[in-house]
Structure 1
């Protein structure tokens, strides 16, 4: 299981109402005539406030997803879309970042 911790910081004076949180594996930019593929990753568990980031605050959200690696020429995309708004965020994460993840200690 991979745990992905995300910090969402709202520095504006307007609340950020979260409409969509999405992980997907996408192809890197290729020639215009090639087909692109996209695979969605569904988190098994989400911890934290995933509905709103209040004005001038920050939220930490932790996602638990099944372990995976990313093939060459692809990347992991994390997207956050605002409800009825235009403040949409997108982050590209390459395979090197994922393979350097730290292992949590065993609590048996």
Structure 2
């Protein structure tokens, strides 16, 4: 089996780093291994982490179709990521595949704060998971 290296999918904002470490396929499910790293001096209170699929913008049309993917399970989702701390969690989603004009977006939302991060993931990682 061919293992693909995901490692580089990450987005950083105000000292908060959201990374997608791996996507693993098992039976009828996709396991998203997600890491949140807090490099700031303020604790990060997690409001929610949402995974959705959306259409990539083409040309001048700005209409984006966004569909939330509801996980079957969530493991180890933190309510807080303290300063200088790293937390990992796993979202288990029903298996899906994406056409070329679609991508996955992980949206991290801070409770009572503005450090919200959107991480875009190419469809090739979803269609060819580990």
State the TM-score bracket (shorter-chain normalisation). Answer: 0.7 to 0.9
Residue 46 (structure 2) aligns with: 18
Q: Is the 8 A contact 2:57 2:63 kept in 1?
A: no
Q: For this pair of structures, how many residues does the alignment match?
A: 102
Which structure features the higher share of strand residues?
A: 2
In structure 2, which of residues 95, 100, 116 is the aligned counterpart of residue 67 of structure 1? 95
How many Å separate the matches in 2 of 1:79 and 1:11? 18
* TM superposition score normalised by structure 1: 0.86
How many Å separate the matches in 2 of 1:34 and 1:15? 35
Q: Is the 8 A contact 1:23 1:77 kept in 2?
A: yes
* TM superposition score normalised by structure 2: 0.73
- Measured on the aligned residues, the alpha-carbon RMSD in Å equals 1.4
The alignment status of 1:53 with 2:81, answered yes or no, reads yes
SS in 2 for 1:14: coil
Q: Is the 8 A contact 1:70 1:94 kept in 2?
A: no
Unaligned runs of 5+ in 2: 1-28
Where in structure 1 do 4 or more consecutive aligned residues deviate above 3 Å? 31-35
Q: Is the 8 A contact 1:17 1:51 kept in 2?
A: yes
Residue 65 (structure 2) aligns with: 37
How far has the Cα of 1:38 moved from its partner? 1.3
Q: Is the 8 A contact 1:82 1:88 kept in 2?
A: yes
How many Å separate the matches in 2 of 1:30 and 1:90? 19
